[in-house]
Amino acid sequence: MSSTEVRLSRLLILAQKFNNFYLTGFHKGDIRPFLVEGQQVGLIKSDVLKQLVKYPEVFCIRDCEQTKQGLVELNPAFRDYNERTEQVEKVLRNLRSEGLFPALQGWRDEYFEVKSEHRPLLKMERAATPLFGVRKYGVDINGYVRHPTQGLCIWLQQRSNTKETWPGKWDNMVGGGLSVGFGIKETAIKEAAEEASIPSDLVKNLVSAGCVSFFFESRQGLFPNTEYVFDLELPLDFVPHNADGEVQAFELLPAKECVERVFTPDFKTTSAPVVIDFLIRHGHITADDVVDFTQIVELLHVPLQSLYIYKTRLEQLQKQHQQLPNDDGNCNSGSSTIKPLENGHKKAA
């Protein structure tokens, strides 16, 4: 069906849009792992690199002897969490005052904890994390209603015009970043109260439903995001209202209209994966309707983890040096089959 074709290409193009860095960004210029304590915690583009070289006492910029790869390393001489945090913050405040990076104009005095394998390494101003390509984790709640006549309907929020990021855009009913010291479901419940005034007797029906991962790039920087998704069925008569001033409106949309809204420029690009995942899980986008269904599902779960494994690769290379020649052979044939992975997806026309 040509109508299906149209539907397909719109969904696929959107999935490619919120994965623009995963699909094509790597091919543009010199992208360097960012290491703290020998662990890769980020990816740094050349525009940021150009500024970091001015702070050699904080950032060591070098090539790795084993991987031959260019690296940015936080000075290993820093003793602990607090010293790393202070040293990075000093640089960030400088960069902010120089006004070079749009991201830093959104400075909000809110910390994001940079971890490796669940070990906290430092905390960083939330607005700065896109400059370092630090993996971000958030929660989103799909608030929905089973309407007697209109079927599945979804609550969307319109972000306040005063928000630093995506002002005025349509978004999921509830969403927020994970903050230091809060659990995942705990964060969802907190955000549900702050953003949509959802009372405890309703929020108790919250259902954990998995996560989506994508890698988006914008003027602000890099967004290797994982969103933990929750579904919340709401009674017909419940109307969310905002408590923290971050939302200007809520609207209940039938599933079909919700899909259309997601395609408009008025919808927050990085929230689209959560809605698409919800509509797929609830049978409103199906493999029979959308020819590239499996490709779209792939792009809702991109293997971010495999882009943050400098240390693993280093350990593998070191092992290989100790191993038999035919193991090196294996490794070569391995990497030759690895190469395609980034190229697998057709680009948006």
**CB of 247 or CB of 255, closer to a copy of itself:** 255
Tell the smallest beta-carbon distance from residue 267 to a copy of itself (Å): 21
Contact between 345 and 16 (Cβ < 8 Å): yes
Contact between 296 and 12 (Cβ < 8 Å): yes
Tell the smallest beta-carbon distance from residue 157 to a copy of itself (Å): 23
**CB of 170 or CB of 215, closer to a copy of itself:** 215
Task: Tell me which residue has tokens 């084993």.
Answer: 66
Q: Give the span between the Cα atoms of 233 and 180, in whole angstroms.
A: 28
Give the footprint of a copy of itself on this chain (CB under 8 A): 26-31, 69, 118, 183-185, 207-211, 213, 226, 228, 277, 280-283, 286-288, 291, 293-295, 297-298, 300-310, 312-313, 316, 330-331, 333-346
- DSSP annotation of 269 reads G
Backbone Cα Rg of the chain: 22
Tell the smallest beta-carbon distance from residue 100 to a copy of itself (Å): 23
The total of other beta-carbon atoms located within 10 Å of residue 4's CB is 12
Tell the smallest beta-carbon distance from residue 83 to a copy of itself (Å): 27
User: In sequence order, what DSSP letters do the residues of 31-77 get, joined into one string?
Assistant: -EEEEETTEEEEEE-HHHHHHHTT-TTTEEEEE-TTT--EEEEE-TT
**CB of 78 or CB of 216, closer to a copy of itself:** 216
Contact between 301 and 212 (Cβ < 8 Å): yes
Residues 6+ apart with CB under 8 A from 252: 145, 153, 154, 155, 156
Find the angle CA(85)-CA(90)-CA(95) to the nearest 5 degrees: 125
Question: Which residue type is seen at 38?
Answer: G
Helix (H) / strand (E) containing 328: helix 325-338
Tell the smallest beta-carbon distance from residue 308 to a copy of itself (Å): 8
Tell the smallest beta-carbon distance from residue 227 to a copy of itself (Å): 10
**CB of 5 or CB of 164, closer to a copy of itself:** 5
**CB of 57 or CB of 315, closer to a copy of itself:** 315
Task: Please give the structure tokens belonging to residue 272.
Answer: 């689209």
**CB of 29 or CB of 76, closer to a copy of itself:** 29
Task: Tell me which residue has tokens 């109260």.
Answer: 193
**CB of 85 or CB of 142, closer to a copy of itself:** 142
Tell the smallest beta-carbon distance from residue 333 to a copy of itself (Å): 5
